[in-house]
Amino acid sequence: MPAEVAAYPVHLDVQHQEEYSRFMPLIKWLILLPHYIVLLVLGIGALFAILFSFFAVLFTRKYPEGLFNYVVGVGRWAYRVSAYLFLMTDEYPPFSLDASPSDQVTYSIDYPADGVDRWRPLFAWILAIPYLIIANILLYLAEILVFFAFFVILFTKKYPEGMFKIVLITMRWQARGNAYAYWMTTKYPPFAWG
């Protein structure tokens, strides 16, 4: 992993399994329905948390830590669901905002203890657009890879490591771009593969 990627304050990792369930990919999308419903409600809450943090950062230069942790928790839950949907893990995602040592999918963002510049809520999302455009293009390519991985898992019970890494890197690009756009980090995401 390039140094600028390793040093970036957004961390997302998924453990690659030696062997995957052959028939779970057939129903994973279906058994995630309860998660979609809960994430919709949590996402609305995260939207209000981000809106409140907009004004908090604008007036105090501080991202309220409770709101920060809530938004990170919603992101953690969403990335667990995404990794399960993208067939990267057979561990059913827990209904929890909290991290657990046994998680196969880990996601965290370092809290900006030095504060956040007042201008970031106004312009960070605009500055993130070029990065997020590339991240979304990568996401579409990853979805195509997941389609092929589905058949590979179905016949071999293996997720090719090269495909797995590309999908993981795509998820990392999304995570970094979103964190910057929501002024959760003050460092621009690196245009690096990793």
pLDDT tens by residue, 158-191: 999 999 999 999 999 999 999 999 999 999 999 9
In percent, how much of the chain has pLDDT > 70?
Answer: 100
* Backbone φ, ψ for residue 105 (5° rounding): -115, 120
Residues 76/140/5/153 CA torsion (nearest 10 deg): 70
Of the candidates 54, 49, 83, which has an alpha carbon nearest to the alpha carbon of residue 69? 49
Mean pLDDT calculated for residue range 3-29: 95
pLDDT tens for residues 112-162?
999 999 999 999 999 999 999 999 999 999 999 999 999 999 999 999 999
> Which residues contact residue 166 at a Cβ distance below 8 angstroms, ignoring those fewer than 6 apart?
141, 142, 145
How many Cα atoms occupy the beta-carbon half-sphere of 40 within 13 Å? Answer: 5
| Ranges of each domain in the chain | 3-181
Yes or no: say if 134 and 173 are a contact pair by the CB < 8 Å rule. Answer: yes
The residue type of 108 is S
Split at pLDDT 50, 70, 90, the class of 1 is: confident
Structure tokens at 192: 């690096």
Token readout for 167 is 């999908």
